[in-house]
Amino acid sequence: MSPISKRSEQKIFTAILLSLIYSVSCAAQHPATAAAAGKPDHLRCDSLTYPLGIDTTHPLLSWQLHDGRFGARQTAYEIQVATTPALLIADKADVWNSGRVSSDSSVNVPYTGPAMQPETRYYWRVKVWDKAGKLYPVSAAAWWETGLMSKDAWKAEWIGFEEKEESSIRKSGATWITNPGQENYKIPGETHHAFRFRFHLQQTARRADLYVAGKDSVAAWMNGQEVLTALPLPPWKQTPWKTWTKVDATSALHQGENLLAIDAVLYAANPNGMQTVNGSETPMSACLYVELTDGSTVIFTSGRGWRAALNPPPQWQNPQFNDDGWQAAVPFIPSDTTGEDDNDPGNPWPTESVKLLRDTFDVNRPVVSARLYITALGAYQAWLNGHRVGDQILSPGWTDYRIRVPYQVFDVTSELKPGKNAIGAFLAPGWYTTPLKWFRQGYNYGSTPDALRAQLRVAYADGSVEWVNTDEHWKAAESPITKAEIYDGENYDARREQTGWSTAPFSDANWKPAEVIQPVEPAIVSQYFQPIRMEKVLSAKKLTNPAPGVYVYDSGQNMSAVERLRVQGPAGTNIKMRFAEVLNSDGTLYTENLRTAKATDHYILSGKGVEEYQPRFTFHGFRYAEITGLQTNPGIDALKAVVIHTDAPFTARLHTGSPIINQLWNNILWGQRSNFVGLPTDCPQRDERLGWTADAQVFWRAASYNMDLTQFSKKFAADLRGTQSGTAMYGIIAPGTASSSPGFAAGWSEAGIIIPWTDWFQRGDRRILEENWDAMQKYLSAIHQANPDYLWAKEYGISFGDWLSPEGKTDETLIATAYWAYDVSLMREMAHALGKTKEEQQYAILFGHIRDAFDKAFVHSDGFVAGADNSASSFGQINNPNAKSHGGDTQTGYVLALHMNLLPNTLRRAAAEKLVEKIRENGWRLGTGFLGTPYLLSVLVDSGHADIAYRLLLNTDYPSWGYLVDHGATTMWERWNGDKMRDDPSMNSYNHYAYGAVADWIYGYAAGVDATPDDPGFHTIYLHPNFDRRIGSVDFSYDSSYGQIKSAWSIQDSTVTWQFTIPPNTTALLSENNAGMRPFTLDGAALDDSPKVHLSEMAEGEKVYRFPAGSYVLKAVLPPQPLSGN
């Protein structure tokens, strides 16, 4: 978050006003020196370059000045929009001309011309006048193109395809059943819930598939023959019980009467506190699909006619057993859980195989343009005339498909040819039907199968337009991809490839008609954020052979990626590839921390020479990849890693004099790469990969420096709003999954407030505030309504607390109330930005009430901050089984109170000293978890303890950032001591970005580059570097919306040299009271005497220096380095 303290806000605001007044006369005071001044560049529409498919009616236009002259700034602009580039060149804007507008706005300027037409390209350019009123050279033309802009424009049908068995089991009506009289099942330890069902077959079975699921695991017998063995409770204490397991039961069936017996094994409650069982309910679901000798089929499902018993006697699985004393099974009704969907089984259907869809069409006259508008309930890959369309991965990405689905637009003009053409697509489960979460809930967003919707618009030279739409005339077939799931991986059988399937000459006579699917219709919106793409390909650093036939590739980097395999061998050879973050001591893969995620791909060779395979519809989090199934060593070049992530541009660069910080920064970036795959996830490897909202909100400021997340933030904010369905509370994950609400929690749900604020603060775009204002107010109103006494002690949701804090529990009400106050303070700032004066005043008053209540409840007269809650957290053993602190007097308690401005000014110093004492007592080590860590260092600097902040940053003892680096981490870890937690794989990710939030401090405090809430988006830049001899130097640059900001300092002996660059059309402020402020000189003169710098004196004698655009070199002599103790 912003390192600007609330106490200094008014001073900064006053300085900004004075600087704006000063800028009017700047040109006269400081004549421009000779330097390059070119035409405006980096033209963007809705923060995107040449966007295809804009659906917004008033897109935001931005540009940057290309002017190296001192004090360069804009005084006026004129935007021209035309239907052709030629008209712009002729200065004839036939769509819209803003006219000359006196303004320095060059970022997020709204288009206010006539209503735009759908499926239309608009060309635009900008004229800009400099500070002297002189016109720059006119910018080059850029363009945006509108999309369909209306749901009525969709004429295509949703289509898909299911094989008979896939469709039959999905429509079978199988229900979840359980034993009656659930109060009798509260038995400690493992329990067996037995179910029996008798059925009759008129003929012998040619083929029989049994689909069965039960909590926690199931075993099954057919006529006394075991066909499925229950799996033991694994070390991670979680089981994938919600999705049917498929087993072949053919050999156990016979004509006449048969008996199916199923044992649902309920294990003891999970000792580490994660809720996987509640000890009182055991649902089971089954479906038996039988194909008889005459080709007809019959289906038997769980429901009526089943009998049930608890802990049955021996031999109960046999047909001869007498079950007259058993009770009739009853439908399962899930109990109320904590808002999560752990106990709600949902639909147990397994994912279906990946399908091929195709159609042909004629092009019989010259084509001007062709656009493909396409999306899916699932994931797709489009093809046209034998060529892949676009380079996007797993499109349309993860969304709550019940609410909205993004569509993509592709320019395919060059792919069309005269005569017959062919269009096709792979259709895969994606996030739509793939089982999600540790219990593996599939079909989270509906009961219909995967579906594709596409329409190809072909515009001809004669002005006519034709459409090729998905409908019942398309053809369908099975693809070579027999399975594709996000967690488990992809199976590809190259022998099933149909060469030329997406070309016109291909014969699809053996294909079947596609089926029109009728899902619950979501809103279909243009994808306004960057898609998932490949970034780079990493070659293996090392190849080992830890066991016969086992080959392990080390890429040297943990990441989100898929493999690129290149091998050859006999047809039918099944190559198995598994993935892991770390190795066992014997060099084999350590996969226990993946929990139920199989993370395994299979490739079956066609036998046709050298073959190359790269999965299309899965991804893995890994550093190490294992190959088995080959008869010979494949060689180190046989497997490479293809790195993927959401393709938002990287915007930060950093290098320091500390190898620890350099590696830490690299780890942070790789953690962001790995976990920004369609949405911000907690981890990329195990059976989770969810949009956990606490992880996101604490990291978002750092992430927004690292990448331009303007559009990605809007996407995730929409996902957050979606979790408010049926409630006012934002969810703990977004998008939600099967349940109507994913549950909420203080510190997690705050993402709904913090992420819109952060994006506005970082990029200055008020639209995200407008889009989320009502939802944010709804959330805060619900908190206030439940807590009229201004302490958030009621209805704060799930008690996660300061997650994974090594110090121990901080009072839940303290955390919740602090975050409520913080939300309210941010809402006040956002209300001010939106001109909502009444709401701004209301939130200012509300903040005061919450602060007073907080002080009364938690703050002592000597600055001691402690909570009253000494109870053990329900997640205490996960956080730290050896924690000594309960309730209060924790580092996090002080950090939140200080950062969120909840202490009287008279007690801030005392509380800060107590925080320092807590750190000292902990051996000069941090003790904070997910919620306290992001603000720890900034609180220390703001209270005059920059030396301690640097000491914590550079520490390599557990717990610390340096500990991860010192122990070989290449990404951020979930736990501070992940290397010591292999005996507890229930929650131990080696790729979690939350603790990477420290990058915000490195950029804002070490490099000293930050924005201000009164002039956000770095239009006014707030400078406050903190110099430290231990790291020696910092070299940082950031690509803001206005251009690149640079800050680099180095220390030689006792002299610091600080170089910084302020881009055109911006201003920088440096306060004398900044923690790192020294008596600087500029060009050999004191700052007070420099003609380049404007000096304003604030109240209490504080000086604020204003720096116009340009490059500066400041020098200062540093005092002796303070010591923080031993």
**Which residue numbers are catalytic?**
688, 974
Cα–Cα distances in Å, from 568 out to 282, 613, 630, 844, 955?
48, 11, 9, 69, 49
The C-alpha atoms of residue 490 and residue 613 are separated, in whole angstroms, by 11
The C-alpha atoms of residue 30 and residue 1091 are separated, in whole angstroms, by 8
Cα–Cα distances in Å, from 991 out to 581, 708, 853, 957?
8, 21, 39, 20
Does an H or E element contain 195, and which? Answer: strand 191-201
The C-alpha atoms of residue 940 and residue 948 are separated, in whole angstroms, by 7
- Kindly provide the residue ranges of all beta strands, DSSP E only, lying in 244-283, ordered along the sequence: 245-248, 256-266
Q: For residue 214, which of 249, 239, 190 has the smallest C-alpha distance?
A: 239
Q: With contact defined as beta carbons under 8 Å apart, do 705 and 652 qualify?
A: yes
| Residue 262 DSSP SS3 | strand
| Residue 793 DSSP SS3 | coil
**In DSSP terms, which residues pair with 286 in a beta bridge?**
212
Report CA dihedral (465, 471, 477, 481) to the nearest 10 degrees.
Answer: 80
**Which tokens go with 37?**
């001044």
**In DSSP terms, which residues pair with 1058 in a beta bridge?**
1049, 1114
Does an H or E element contain 1049, and which? Answer: strand 1043-1052
Q: With contact defined as beta carbons under 8 Å apart, do 841 and 784 qualify?
A: no
How wide is the angle at C-alpha 387 spanned by C-alphas 424 and 150, nearest 5°?
55
Does an H or E element contain 362, and which? Answer: strand 355-363
Q: For residue 1061, which of 1038, 1081, 1094 has the smallest C-alpha distance?
A: 1038
The C-alpha atoms of residue 595 and residue 581 are separated, in whole angstroms, by 13
Map tokens 């130097």 to a residue. Answer: 1033
Q: With contact defined as beta carbons under 8 Å apart, do 442 and 347 qualify?
A: yes
- Exposed (0-12), middle (13-18) or buried (19+): which is 388, by Cβ within 10 Å? middle
Does an H or E element contain 1114, and which? Answer: strand 1110-1117
Cα–Cα distances in Å, from 1014 out to 4, 760, 1102?
11, 11, 19
Q: With contact defined as beta carbons under 8 Å apart, do 1061 and 1110 qualify?
A: yes
Q: With contact defined as beta carbons under 8 Å apart, do 605 and 526 qualify?
A: no
Cis preceding linkage at 735, omega within 30 = yes
Does an H or E element contain 620, and which? Answer: strand 620-628
Cα–Cα distances in Å, from 553 out to 363, 536, 539, 603, 703?
48, 17, 9, 17, 30
How wide is the angle at C-alpha 1062 spanned by C-alphas 1059 and 1066, nearest 5°?
160
Q: With contact defined as beta carbons under 8 Å apart, do 728 and 779 qualify?
A: yes
> How many other CB atoms are found less than 10 A from the CB of residue 150?
10
Q: For residue 729, which of 713, 743, 716 has the smallest C-alpha distance?
A: 743
Chain length of the chain: 1126
**Which tokens go with 650?**
């990287």
Q: With contact defined as beta carbons under 8 Å apart, do 1000 and 762 qualify?
A: no
Phi, psi of 841 (to 5 degrees): -65, -40
**In DSSP terms, which residues pair with 481 in a beta bridge?**
492
